[in-house]
A and B are shown apart, each in its own frame.
Chain A
Amino acid sequence: KQEVTQIPAALSVPEGENLVLNCSFTDSAIYNLQWFRQDPGKGLTSLLLIQSSQREQTSGRLNASLDKSSGRSTLYIAASQPGDSATYLCAVQYTGGFKTIFGAGTRLFVKA
């Protein structure tokens, strides 16, 4: 069964700290993995997309890595800010039907 898991479910850090969010998935037959941000009651904002042939992607203070063989991805956030407080979701798009499966997310709170 194809599943995506995110641990921890919630995380609280002081402002300025570097942090890592984790995403694991079963079945390595994937097209890509995408990280999103969701603010309460809002839609999803795309942060980074990593294609299955890639190992990492960077955008500003964000760096996402992908290890397809172990079924893991990490999202690294440097120098966290209170404005980074949100729920972060990873989504895996599998081959064979292009099905996208989301993890339940990690709720991040950055304290000023």
Chain B
Amino acid sequence: DAMVIQNPRYQVTQFGKPVTLSCSQTLNHNVMYWYQQKSSQAPKLLFHYYDKDFNNEADTPDNFQSRRPNTSFCFLDIRSPGLGDAAMYLCATSIQVTETQYFGPGTRLLVL
């Protein structure tokens, strides 16, 4: 089945230790998104890629970076995680930017 896959499902890191979350898709969609969702809050868009074009939201902290080496994979790098970065990180894809977004299961990040 075509799908959006996120690894790992749970990630524990130490304060200040860089961490990378990964997302892959078998849908062959042009657009990939990263969202941050804190407990009982709305998902917040961090950035999205249309193909190789990177689009950063104005209020996304510099501590968050992203890479998309090819159509199928997209990575979220948190350079120096703080306690406030503990959250669920959701990856989504869509065939075009104004079409339905399909989400992966998320990676829950815990910062100690």
Using CB atoms and an 8 Å cutoff, list the residues of chain A in contact with chain B: 4, 31-32, 34, 36, 41-46, 49, 51, 89, 91, 93, 97-105
Contact string, B33-49, partner A, CB cutoff 8 A, digits 1/0? 10000001111110010
B101 at the interface (CB under 8 A from A): yes
Contacts of B55 in A (CB 8 A): 97-98
**B interface residues (Cβ-Cβ under 8 A, vs A):** 4, 6, 33, 40-45, 48, 55, 57, 88, 90, 92, 97-106, 108
Q: Which of A41, A43, A101 counts the most chain B CB atoms within 10 A? A: A43
How far does the alpha carbon of A41 sit from the alpha carbon of B88 in the complex, in Å? 8
Task: Name the A residues within 8 Å of B6 (CB-CB).
Answer: 43
Establish whether residues A102 and B44, one from each chain, have CB atoms under 8 Å apart when the complex forms: yes
In the complex the two chains form, what is the Cα distance from A65 to B86 in whole Å?
35
Q: Please classify the interface of chain A as helix (H, G, I), strand (E, B), loop, or mixed, using the class held by over half of its residues.
A: strand
- What residues of A have a CB within 8 angstroms of the CB of B106 in the complex? 42-43
Give A75 Cβ to nearest chain B Cβ, in Å. Answer: 15
B88 proximity list for chain A (CB < 8 A): 41
Q: Find chain A residues with CB under 8 A from B101 CB.
A: 34, 46, 91, 100
Q: Which of chain B's residues have a CB closer than 8 A to the CB of A93?
A: 97-98
Contact B41 A101 (CB under 8 A): no
CB <8 Å contact, B102 and A31:
no
Q: List 9 A-B contacts (CB under 8 A).
A: A34-B101, A43-B6, A44-B103, A45-B103, A46-B102, A98-B98, A101-B42, A102-B44, A103-B42
Residues of B near A51 (CB, < 8 A) are 98
